[in-house]
Amino acid sequence: MDGIRDILKKIAGFGAGKQEIEEDGRAMYIVAGLGNPTKEYEKTRHNVGFEVIDVLADRLGIMVEEKKFRGYYGRGRIGGERVILLKPQTFMNLSGESVRAAADFYKVDREHIIIVYDDISLDVGQLRIRTKGSAGGHNGIKNIIEHLGTQEFPRIKVGVGDKPKKMDLADYVLSRFSKEDRTVMEGAFEEAAQAVEMMISQGADKAMNRFNGHRA
């Protein structure tokens, strides 16, 4: 039975590991959505990266259920390119440990690591794509920069809105959206997933022209 399952996976385009990727001769991408594990943090502002990965996985028919690299991951293709979808389970502030482990295992170039995460400087549902940049106060990105040793990796920022003046930042990003904002965010997750596909299949410039500043 296991042999039949392995054959079906290969027919569907899912790799068994590094050797198959190298023999294929194609570039490998990692798309990592940031968030915090456990039900306690589901659907919070800080977990929008996880939700984008869920939408992308559904669009591509990828199961993000394999455990490795201190996270959950799944394998598939976008535009003919082999792709790893990754949800680090290290908690946000240690996201770099998971991303680095996957990048080292598959020997992925830093410019082929796409990070999706929340941004309080953007309006709810607004997207911004960048090919490099600083952490901008985001601890998950700060940790990824430390582990990768570079700021030069592409990212998709998903706006969650600025915090109220009297509210603590940690409390705000760990809170959930209002019913109205949640509806907006559902559209943003879909657009962010489309942006990932365009970045890989057509290039970051086209994705930036299409999605930057757009609000779902």
Q: How far apart are CA 69 and CA 215, in angstroms?
A: 33
Residue 36 among known ligand-binding residues = no
Pairing relationship of beta strands 155-159 and 127-130 according to DSSP bridges: antiparallel
69 is in an annotated binding site: no
Of 174, 195, 188, whose CA–CA distance to 35 is shortest?
174
By the 8 A CB rule, do 216 and 204 touch?
A: no
**Which residues are CB-neighbours of 129 under 8 A, at least 6 positions away?**
154, 155, 156, 157, 195, 199, 204, 207, 208, 211, 212
Side chain identity at residue 109, one-letter code: D
- Of the candidates 185, 134, 174, 170, the one whose C-alpha atom is nearest the C-alpha of residue 155 is 134
Q: Which residues pair with 117 in a beta bridge?
A: 157
Q: Is 214 a catalytic residue?
A: no
> Distance between CA 19 and CA 171 in Å, rounded?
44
Rounded CA gap, 70 and 88, in Å? 6
Kindly state the tokens that stand for 12: 């569907």
Q: Which of 46, 112, 138, 147 is catalytic?
A: 46
Binding site residues, as ranges? Answer: 41, 91, 93, 139
Catalytic residues: 46
Binding site residues for tRNA, as ranges? Answer: 41, 91, 93, 139
